[in-house]
Amino acid sequence: MSERLSQEQKNLSQWLACSDCDLLLKRKTLVEGERASCPRCKSTLEVRKRDSASRTLAVAVAGLISFIPAMTLPLLGLEAVGLKNESSLLECIASIYNSELYLVAVLVSLFCIIVPLARLLIICYLMVLVRKNRSSLIGIRLYRYFHEWEEWGMLEVFMLGMVVALYKILGLASAIYGVGLISFASLLISATLVTQFLDEQYVWEKLSGQR
Ligand SMILES: [Zn+2]
């Protein structure tokens, strides 16, 4: 039964519908840098990105390297009337927890630490599998989680919150920009570049052994 199903899935994956005009077309295997467009409406059907796995792996590793300083070093500080105060993301969460806002502390940890870290680790592992040409059922499951958790990683929201807070506070005190802030920005850029370099269709095909 499962064999028949996987055969049917394989047959179905040979077909591709144009997202603009619904024309059904037989999928062609593209080489790196090649682009397939619809013969009827000329819209782009698929693009095979150049050196996708290596580039994605490189930016994901860069993100992982930025992760520890982004979490542990001071992000922002304030200086007013001779008093200075700086804190890192982990200290912020500890302070929220100590203020008995337990749910907020758990949510911030989940969306700003656990989900982004898990997604970076997953994509590193998957890119290693793709580069080694290994098909993997666990890989496919992890790739699904990678997509499902996309909306739950909220590094950008946190960054936006910091910018707004900074704007509000600047009139009252002078801000100190910590090393953690640069690392956090680097983490954010790396996480964005991962989605830019990732060739989604290519990864599905590699992990399911269609290539
Ligand atoms: Zn079309």
* 173 has a pLDDT exceeding 80: no
Measured in Å, residue 27 CA sits from the centre of ligand 1 at 14
Measured in Å, residue 24 CA sits from the centre of ligand 1 at 9
Distance CA 115, CA 196 (A): 19
Q: Exposed/middle/buried for 19, CB within 10 Å: 0-12, 13-18, 19+?
A: exposed
**Which token pair is 114?**
């656990």
Measured in Å, residue 197 CA sits from the centre of ligand 1 at 25
CB 126 within 8 A of CB 141: no
For position 8, what pLDDT does the model report?
67
* 11 has a pLDDT exceeding 80: no
Average pLDDT for 31-42 = 90
What would the pLDDT profile of 69-85 be if each residue is shown by its tens digit?
A: 999 998 888 787 778 88
Query: What does the chain come to in residues?
Result: 211
Measured in Å, residue 185 CA sits from the centre of ligand 1 at 39
For position 68, what pLDDT does the model report?
93
Residue 123: name the closest of 152, 144, 154, 137 by CA: 144
Measured in Å, residue 26 CA sits from the centre of ligand 1 at 13
State the chain's mean pLDDT as an integer. 88
Distance CA 175, CA 201 (A): 45
Measured in Å, residue 41 CA sits from the centre of ligand 1 at 4
For position 90, what pLDDT does the model report?
92
What would the pLDDT profile of 101-110 be if each residue is shown by its tens digit?
A: 999 999 999 9
Residue 181: name the closest of 82, 80, 69, 59 by CA: 69
Average pLDDT for 174-197 = 89
Enclosing H/E stretch for 181? helix 179-197
Tell me what percent of the residues of the chain surpass a pLDDT of 70: 94
Domain ranges (residues) in the chain: 1-48, 52-207
For position 187, what pLDDT does the model report?
93
Measured in Å, residue 21 CA sits from the centre of ligand 1 at 4
Measured in Å, residue 15 CA sits from the centre of ligand 1 at 14
Measured in Å, residue 16 CA sits from the centre of ligand 1 at 11
* 154 has a pLDDT exceeding 90: no
Task: Look at phi and psi of residue 129 and say left if phi exceeds 0, alpha if psi is from -120 to 50, else beta.
Answer: alpha
| pTM for this predicted structure | 0.83
Average pLDDT for 116-138 = 93
Average pLDDT for 22-46 = 90
Distance CA 109, CA 46 (A): 37
Alpha helices in 36-136 (DSSP H): 52-72, 89-98, 102-109, 115-131
Measured in Å, residue 34 CA sits from the centre of ligand 1 at 18
Measured in Å, residue 28 CA sits from the centre of ligand 1 at 15
* 128 has a pLDDT exceeding 90: yes
Measured in Å, residue 50 CA sits from the centre of ligand 1 at 24
For position 1, what pLDDT does the model report?
47
Cα distances from 17 to residues 26, 95, 204, in angstroms, run 9, 52, 17
* 193 has a pLDDT exceeding 70: yes
CB 79 within 8 A of CB 173: yes
For position 188, what pLDDT does the model report?
92
What is the end-to-end Cα distance of the chain in Å, rounded?
Answer: 23
* 10 has a pLDDT exceeding 70: no
Q: Exposed/middle/buried for 180, CB within 10 Å: 0-12, 13-18, 19+?
A: buried
